[in-house]
Amino acid sequence: MFQEIDDNYYVMMENVSAVKLIYENGKYIWLFYTNHPTPLKSKPFDTEEEAKIWFRNLKYDYYRRKE
């Protein structure tokens, strides 16, 4: 299943092996590690809390659709 991680930018969730939250240029960004040489970046968030809520919702949607 593909999941949108930024505007018109999708990642196939079955290929994600790790996810990491980083702080870069004053914004919080999720890195999605796949078999691609460099991690794929999510859209930027202003606060850490906003980023965590977004990811929590992403996980919920993904597992709900798998059932």
pTM of the full predicted structure? 0.84
Quote the DSSP letter at residue 19.
Answer: E
Query: What pLDDT does 61 receive?
Result: 77
Query: What pLDDT does 31 receive?
Result: 97
Query: What pLDDT does 1 receive?
Result: 75
Long-range CB contacts (within 8 A, 24+) of 6-15 = 6/41, 6/42, 6/43, 7/43, 9/40, 9/43, 11/40, 13/62
Identify the segments of the chain with pLDDT beneath 70. Answer: 63, 66-67
